[in-house]
Amino acid sequence: MLETYLQDFIVLWVVIDPIGSVPVFISHTTRLTAQQKRQAALKASVAAFFILLFFLSLGQIILEAMKIPLESFQIAGGLVLFYFAFTMIFGESKVESEMEMKDKRVDVAIFPMAVPSLASPGAMMAVVLLTDNSTFSIWEQIQTMVIMLTVIVVSYFLLRAAGKIQSWIGDSGAAIVSRVMGLILAAVALNSVLEGIKTYFGI
């Protein structure tokens, strides 16, 4: 049981990537006051939580309404997660790519902080796969939601401490962490694909 919780926590930690969001947050809030930065961190975290909660609660229902087997979504999701991991490792890191998404017309707490920095496409897919109605009970899905909330809360406090963290690890350190997380995510994604194939073909 503890192993399952730990695995879910690691998956959600990797796809949400709180540490990789810190330099992004710093880059987009340089002109804000300390109070505004605290408000932006809170708003981004709350928005990300409710976005992921929507996918956690209704993602599979939407798939079933479209008559898409969860196994197919698991395989497709695993492939997309693998691509996401691949770009984290070999392409621009999360830090570098999301720093380029500045748009002064949009509230930075929502874009790019809530989406796609915290509530990334990978995170949306992950919460659906971790709450399969045919595999997990309601109680287990609630536990996954609590784990997701825990990661978001940790993300919030990391954003609050963004200035200190940035001085400790720098942009290069955050990019290294992002690539290590990408390697872990690649292993998780491959496992998702293999499990989906095994279930779909009844192996």
Query: What does the alpha-carbon distance between residue 168 and residue 50 come to, in Å, rounded to a whole number?
Result: 31
- Roughly what angle, to the nearest 10 degrees, separates helices 121-129 and 70-90? 140
CA–CA dist 185, 81 (Å, integer): 7
Q: What's the confidence (pLDDT) of residue 48?
A: 97
Q: Are 156 and 42 in contact (CB under 8 A)?
A: yes
Express each pLDDT in 157-199 by its tens digit: 999 998 787 778 777 777 777 788 778 778 877 887 888 898 8
pLDDT in tens, 115-143: 878 998 778 888 998 998 888 899 999 99
DSSP 134: T
**Minimum mean pLDDT among 59-73, 83-97, 168-182: which range?**
83-97
pLDDT higher than 60, residue 106: no
**H or E segment at 22?**
helix 18-28
User: What is the band of 105 on the pLDDT scale with cuts at 50, 70, 90?
Assistant: very low
Residue 144 has pLDDT above 70, yes or no: yes
pLDDT at 104 over 50: no
How far, in Å, CA of 74 to CA of 168, rounded?
38
CA atoms within 13 A on the CB side of 87: 13
State the sign of the Cα–Cα–Cα–Cα dihedral 99, 79, 152, 181.
negative
Looking at residue 150, its pLDDT comes to: 97
More confident residue, 99 or 6: 6
53/27: higher pLDDT: 53
End-to-end CA gap in the chain: 25
pLDDT over 50 (residue 58): yes
Average pLDDT over residues 51-74: 88
Cα–Cα distance list, 12 to 52, 121, 188 (Å): 11, 12, 11
For the domain made up of 2-200, the CATH class stated in words is mainly alpha
pLDDT value at 45 more than 90: yes
Q: Which two tokens stand for residue 147?
A: 């784990």
DSSP 185: H
